[in-house]
Structures are given as C-alpha cells and as structure tokens.
Amino acid sequence: MNPVLIGILAAAVLVVVWAVGIYNRLVRLRVQGEESWRDIDTQLKRRWDLIPNLVETVKGYATHEREVFQRVTEARAHAQAATGPKETAAAEAQLRNAMVNLFAVAEAYPQLKANENFLQLQGSLEQVEDAIQKSRRYYNAVVRDYNTALQIFPSSLVASLFGFKPREFYMLEDEQQREAPKVTF
C-alpha cells in the first residue's frame, strides 16, 4: 500500500477520533447542565412545599395581615409557573421579597416566634435556601464550562456542526434585585 495513502487514512482517523472526543465532551457538559438545573428545580419545589405551612402557621397568629399572605401565595404560584433560568430568577426574587415581609410580620408576634412548628419550618426553609444557593453555584459553574467549550477553538467547530446552543446562567436580572429587599406593610 502507498505510504501517502496510509498517512492520509491515519490523519482522517485521527480527525474523526478527535471530533468524536469533542462531541462526547460537549454532550457530557450539556447533560450536566440539564441535571444541575433539575437539582435547582428540586430544591425550589422543597421550598414551595414549605411555604404554605409557614403561611398557615403565621396566619394563626396574625389574621389581619391578609395582604402579606396574598402576596406570598401569588409569588409562590408565579415562581412555580416560571420556566428557564431568567424567568425563574425573576419569580424567585419576587418570592424572596414576599417571604421577607412574612418574616417581618412574624417578628411582631413574640408568641409566634416561640412556636415550635414555626421554628422548625423556619429552620427547614433556611436549609433549603442553602441548598438552593449551592445548586445555583454548581449550575452556573457547569454552564460556564459548557458555554466556554462551545466558544473555544477547536471545539467551537464541532459545536456549530452539531447545533449545540449556549445555556443561560441563573443570575439576578438587574441591580435592583441585588439590593436588600424593602420590608413594607
């Protein structure tokens, strides 16, 4: 066999192996991104499940705070309906602000603050918030790696050839959301 032909075949095999390796890496990163987004969904659902119990507990002590309860309920429903990182981040910011107001109401009732059920719910909510933060950081790290792989040469060639699209980061929408929430009654 001709040595030039063998060299061309060897080079072609190397290019195919190289492209398959890059393709598999991109797929792995894309799947990690989807998995890490599902982790955020799971943690958010845990929080959404805690909120009605917390609202009911506070309602038992502060029945005249209907507007606060209504805002929490509406914000929770909006957060549950959100899709994608950008919309979810905006809805979760609204929910966080509503929850701040709910806890401000609770501060006005010393007997509520001493209620064991309220304290357990508050502790569970804090644990879930920590888990959400960890999940968000992990998701954004995976998205960073994936999006970087899509843009650097030579993997950008394989990414464009097979239609890989960048993912959105989970981030605050604007500077106003970075400020501490305002507590209003």
CATH number at residue 122: 1.20.1440.20
Integer Cα distance of 16 and 158 in angstroms: 11
How many domains does one find in the chain? 1
Q: Which residue has the tokens 């982790």?
A: 39
Residue 183 covered by a domain: no
Residue 126 covered by a domain: yes
Residue 147 covered by a domain: yes
**Which carries the bigger pLDDT value, residue 178 or residue 36?**
36
Per residue in 123-156, pLDDT (tens digit) is 899 999 899 999 999 999 999 999 999 999 989 9
Integer Cα distance of 112 and 106 in angstroms: 6
Residue 71 covered by a domain: yes
Domain that residue 79 falls in: 3-178
Residue 14 covered by a domain: yes
Residue 184 covered by a domain: no
**Is pTM, for the whole model, over 0.85?**
no
Q: Given this model, what pLDDT does residue 105 score?
A: 83
- As a whole-number percent, the residues of the chain with pLDDT over 90 amount to 56
Residue 8 covered by a domain: yes
